[in-house]
Amino acid sequence: MKGFIQTIKNIWSIKELKEKLILTFLLILVYRFGSYIPLPGVDINEVNRYVADQASASSGILGLLNSFTGGSFSRASVLALGIMPYISASIVVQLMGLAVPYIQKLQKEGESGRNKVNQITRWLTIGICLVQAPAYLTLVTSQILPYDPASPYAFYLVPPSNFWFWFPSVIILITGTVFSMWMGEKITDKGIGNGISILIMVGILADLPRAILNAFETDASGGIFFLLEMLGLIVVIALCIMIVAAVRKVPVQYVRRAQTSSSSYMRSVTDSVRSYIPLKVNAAGVMPIIFAQAIMFLPGTLASYVLEDDSPIKQFFTKMADPFTLEYNLIFGFLIIIFTYFYTAITIPVNQMAEDLKRNGGIIPGIRPGKETADFLDEILSKITLPGAILLTLLAVLPAIVKLLGVDQNLAMFFGGTSMLIMVGVILDTVQQINTYLLNRRYDGLMSSGRTSSDMA
């Protein structure tokens, strides 16, 4: 404990790091405050009363979006769309880089190219918001906070069919997303960590204390089952850390040549430097889970608008949209494995890595430079992706498994899936950046004893 306190003092003694942490914390507070500001014409008191009584938007893709936005989605907040349109735009631009030559060219132009790609992503974000904002308002007024004059919940001060409800609400929702995007970029540039990921993580963490409290209050075993739940949660966190941090180190040797001279002759000196390429076991991150969830939700959404309520096909697709059913998890797991291989293949350019190694004088011992190096890296990547995909699938379906064991549904969502992976990944990345500042100033990192190098001298 003494070492931890000393480490906190070390962090606070670095002016630049302290300012970055304060700015990050203040922007997070603004983001959380904005999640409680309702859209114009919405009575927030009635909404809070309804959310406390109902479990709407607690499952499927709606539950995922609600957790990513820290509850803003179900409260009809000005930040209801959150940062998700920006995430969608980033994914689209990334996929366009595989097929659109102009995007490919920009991605290779260094800093100026990245700035242009970021600008394209921002404009695409606004375009996605123009579609998602009206769709969200339709969803809110019909399902999440249904408008009914006879309802005991008077959500709307202005009828939701009124133009003066829709028009300002659409503008404000788009503005809220742009503002969230701006805060995320400011955290990245002036704060600490990846700002977009931090905002998503904060939204997810906002629901964790309430879920733990509900699990404690509903435990009928005198606290024994609750302790087992907390122990299981710690084990899952350890599994997530293993999945996020696990790498396969491919040894690389860089050869450098230098000319030395004397009064009578020239001599060539060869020097070699050993390094390695870290290939992640789970290079795709959480993207396979997000893609698979979107596909699983789509049939049920379409069926709800096309088919009758008593249709067997609609009932089947509705069941397929429930993340706690056996049918959902079997197909869900299969899709995750497929998307893990797909996303890994498009995000890890083994051919470019082989060319970069050859250009910089790097070789993998026993492997010829060029095509053989690319084939070797591709073979290793294929072998380590399978266990990574299986572990990712296990983590994705774990909430359904623990729910069957009696864990409360709200807490079960934190036992795996996208939420836990994002939280662990963002926290590890932020800690790593803080460690970098500490080590540069000759301090031990967060995971060390907290002593400075001068103390150890």
CA atoms within 13 A on the CB side of 262: 4
- Predicted pLDDT at 413: 79
> Residue 369 corresponds to which amino acid?
P
Strands in 247-261's sheet, in edge-to-edge order, are: 266-280, 247-261, 362-363
- Predicted pLDDT at 175: 94
- Predicted pLDDT at 202: 86
- Predicted pLDDT at 309: 61
- Predicted pLDDT at 186: 92
- Predicted pLDDT at 124: 92
How far is residue 20 CA from its own chain's centroid? 21
- Predicted pLDDT at 256: 62
For residues 217 and 206, what is the distance between their CA atoms, to the nearest angstrom?
Answer: 18
Residues 297-311: tens digit of each pLDDT: 666 666 665 656 666
Neighbours of 193 (CB within 10 A): 21
- Predicted pLDDT at 447: 55
Sign of the torsion formed by the C-alpha atoms of 27, 33, 36 and 38: negative
Tokens 């250009």 correspond to: 359
Residues 268-324: tens digit of each pLDDT: 445 556 788 888 888 888 778 877 876 776 666 666 656 566 667 766 766 666 777
Contact predicate 438/12, CB 8 Å: no
Give pLDDT < 50 ranges for the chain: 56-58, 259, 262-266, 268-269, 448-457
Run of H or E including 99 = helix 84-99
| Token pair recorded at residue 334 | 């299969």
Pure H helices in 153-193: 163-190
- Predicted pLDDT at 151: 72
Domains delineated in the chain: 1-191 (1.10.3370.10), 202-256+273-444 (1.10.3370.10)
Residues 52-86: tens digit of each pLDDT: 666 544 455 556 566 666 667 777 788 888 888 88
Sign of the torsion formed by the C-alpha atoms of 335, 340, 343 and 346: negative
Residues in the chain: 457
For residues 181 and 83, what is the distance between their CA atoms, to the nearest angstrom?
Answer: 6
> Which among 220, 210, 217, 229 has a CA at the least distance from the CA of 407?
229
Q: Which residues contact 34 (CB under 8 A, 6 or more apart)?
A: 72, 77, 78, 79, 176, 179, 180
Show the beta-strand stretches assigned E in 170-265: 247-261
- Predicted pLDDT at 403: 85
For the chain, the helix, strand and coil percentages under 3-state DSSP, each to the nearest 5: 70, 10, 25
**pTM of the predicted structure, to 2 decimals:** 0.77
**Region label for 164, one of left (φ > 0), alpha (ψ between -120 and 50) or beta (otherwise):** alpha
User: What angle is formed at CA 69 by the lines to CA 208 and CA 282, rounded to 5 degrees?
Assistant: 75
| Token pair recorded at residue 35 | 């999640």
- Predicted pLDDT at 455: 40
- Predicted pLDDT at 23: 92
Contact predicate 280/261, CB 8 Å: no
- Predicted pLDDT at 127: 92
- Predicted pLDDT at 108: 76
